[in-house]
Chain A
């Protein structure tokens, strides 16, 4: 028998990353089940579109939003503490846009809104797919709240000082931003509509951490939407 006493085995304190990561792993499994169950229930609901189905969609939307906010929280923490550097790879932008739409179209439809996407098939972009998808998801959620009838998600080339990148745009036909000027990191965290502005902060951080040959990404929000509402542009070098 070894001489090791039970008192020696002290509980080691966990670091914040471990706590967050472990909690999120557990929460995610349950959230996944919840969403899948809702989706199944939704499919089985009586036709025509019942009120019950509408409730399911709201549930799903809430679940998705919860998930997104959790991801955003963890990503923000990791990016700010320099624990994570974007995993930049080449992607077909059409693929990323299409996937976002696959997820959001039913939710938009549930609210009587149209969501389209548009992108040249061969448009190539360099980005951390997961982070950029998070930003797109945020922008779509925002548009879902304010749009009156339609939202367009698109991507196109972006010419900057040292070459060409891509920009991803979310345009709606809502009332637009109250203050069109672009807020910078940390400023104006609380906006007039009561949201914390954390989503915007996250989007800016994601933009800034994407860089190539000295050029950094940018976030531009204005009221130049082709439908007369808000337009949010994530530009990646």
Chain B
């Protein structure tokens, strides 16, 4: 192992003066006062090292020229200072903004290469939220460097405890040379992982894993970074059994929080809730502020039916990080289920407050708030929430209008305002016809209920069919649909509708399976793919389509196009219960086929 030794002395002084004079190292060292010897040694010693200092020839070539850089800071003088630092490193394409909203707007216009974002941005979003929303929108490709600038070096709510981490934290104040060195190191790292990142971004998860393994085996010095990327790739690929094994392996080497979280997530996805609880509780014990672990712990507790514990877990998480909307929503929903209306109200107040300027906000949040008031017999408040919703979404697109109409219809029905409810319902149904994909499962169920209350059984049946179509093997969902019909005295009709829809799907499935048995594999694949296209959320259909594709590939010939198609089907399938094992088996099969194609 070669030792790189640093004698930075005069070289740095020269660096500081580079703008005014481009002299040799020796002369600038002279000015520092009789240290000629020391600086001469630098160049000798660094010849066989890979660390480049300011005096090396490569350094003079390093520049930020041509890179799109975004500065986010609420303090004008800081923006100017950062800009000057960057300009002196050759940057010529810098945009400066003063808050999170402007930052997101700028990123949506064009993806930056480098983002320098202050954590503390005044009243609006903080830097961490900017990072999360930008990632959610896919405005930050892997190649982009995101640096979170902080005043503190111990940000207990952020560092190492959240799911989305920046590429680096930089504590204020820092000098230009330090910023340059950080940027250069990060660029080098990103370049090193470019091929792997490309594979991940194009959904070639197994290839990404193989590349990681290869790099680790070759002794790459960033082995833990590679292991982290591999774990993410396995989770994104949906290969949870392999992910579990991988994280266990990492944890045996080192107790790292991201590996504990990864293991917990894998166990949740595998439905091993009790094991997941144990792992996540241990992670939280070691790191009390670990909010991301709290989120998954609450999920596991919920799945185990421990709603009280789940609520407590979410309470703690929300206390740690009150700005995260999804967490507040989860708390509100759980508290409402537990009948803790005050907690639920508090959580959704926060959701409504923060949600207006966030992609995580939705008109349905106002619906949830109304439901909380209705549960507490506060009809006037429930109605006022609707007004607030309309004021918040004044220029809504059809998808949002549809969501608002669903909320309007539901709340007015609950308040006994028949006329208003019916009007909203008609609006919603008309919009739904054009874009049924705009409504999620809960919203569709809510609209169905409104239709039933208003006596439009036909529309309700259509909506429930829509939901059943996506969930025909989800018994809990079917029971809820059945219950809804029963509540308006239509138990029998409901049963008929649900049974008919189920039967239709089972028949389609059986036909396809029969075709496959008869050797008509291609016809079977065609039929199932068509069905999967029409019902993208249906687990069984998606799994069957993927399996038939894989069978066809085994029988005939493997090709990338078919493999990708099968993997896409598997990836979008959120299997639960019994489907999970089959899902895992098919993932493994697809993986082994991918290996033969490599």
Contacts and interface: CB of A to CB of B under 8 A. Distances in A.
A121 B175 contact: no
B224 A109 contact: no
A117 B161 CA distance: 32
B153 interface: yes
A61 interface: no
A32 B255 CA distance: 36
A84 B154 contact: yes
A71 interface: yes
B17 interface: yes
Contact of B154 (A42, A78, A97, A108): A78
Interface of A is mostly: helix
B169 A99 contact: no
A64 to B, nearest CB: 8
Contact of B173 (A25, A32, A89): A32
A95 B186 CA distance: 11
Contact of A102 (B8, B17, B77): B8
Contacts of A182: none
Contacts of A32: 78, 81, 172-174
A159 interface: no
B423 interface: no
Contacts of B171: 71, 130
Contacts of A117: 5-6, 8
Interface residues of A, number: 62
Interface in B1-23: 1-10, 12-13, 16-17, 19-20
Interface in A46-99: 47-49, 63, 67, 71, 74-75, 78-79, 82-85, 87-90, 92, 94-95, 97-99
B201 interface: no
Contacts of A136: none
Interface string B149-172: 001111010011100000001011
A90 B225 contact: yes
Nearest to A133: B153
B163 to A, nearest CB: 14
B33 A98 contact: no
A106 B173 CA distance: 16
B156 A119 contact: no
A124 B223 CA distance: 10
A84 B171 CA distance: 16
Contacts of A85: 156, 160, 286-289
A43 interface: yes
Nearest to B177: A102
A8 interface: no
A88 B256 CA distance: 7
B379 to A, nearest CB: 18
B153 A89 contact: no
A74 B152 CA distance: 8
A36 B6 CA distance: 25
B2 A121 contact: yes
Contact of B254 (A67, A71, A112, A212): A212
Contacts of B177: 102-103
A224 interface: no
Interface string A97-117: 111011101101100101111
A213 interface: yes
B172 to A, nearest CB: 5
Most chain A beta carbons < 10 A, residue from B10, B161, B174, B286: B174
A118 B8 CA distance: 11
Given A48-B31, A120-B3, A29 B75 contact: yes
Contacts of A102: 8, 12, 175, 177-178, 181
Contact of A105 (B12, B151, B152): B12
A32 B73 CA distance: 13
Contact of B8 (A74, A78, A95, A101): A101
Nearest to B32: A109
Interface string B393-414: 0000000000000000000000
A35 B31 CA distance: 22
Contacts of A90: 222-225, 254, 256
Given A98-B181, A118-B5, A92 B221 contact: yes
B30 to A, nearest CB: 9
Contacts of A43: 16-17, 19-20
A29 B35 contact: no
B6 A101 contact: yes
B585 interface: no
A28 interface: yes
A109 B9 CA distance: 7
A71 B225 CA distance: 28
B120 interface: yes
B557 interface: no
A126 interface: yes
B153 A126 contact: no
Given A25-B152, A94-B51, A130-B153, 18 more contacts: A25-B151, A31-B173, A35-B173, A39-B175, A43-B20, A47-B31, A83-B289, A85-B289, A87-B159, A92-B222, A97-B6, A98-B181, A101-B8, A109-B9, A117-B8, A118-B3, A121-B1, A124-B221
Interface of A: 21, 24-25, 28-29, 31-33, 35-36, 39, 42-43, 47-49, 63, 67, 71, 74-75, 78-79, 82-85, 87-90, 92, 94-95, 97-99, 101-103, 105-106, 108-109, 112, 114-122, 124, 126, 130-131, 133-134, 212-213
5 tightest Cβ-Cβ pairs between the two chains A and B = A32-B173, A87-B160, A130-B153, A90-B224, A25-B151
22 contacts: A33-B78, A36-B84, A49-B32, A85-B288, A85-B289, A88-B256, A92-B221, A92-B222, A94-B51, A99-B181, A102-B181, A109-B9, A109-B10, A116-B7, A116-B9, A117-B8, A118-B4, A118-B5, A119-B3, A121-B50, A130-B169, A213-B255
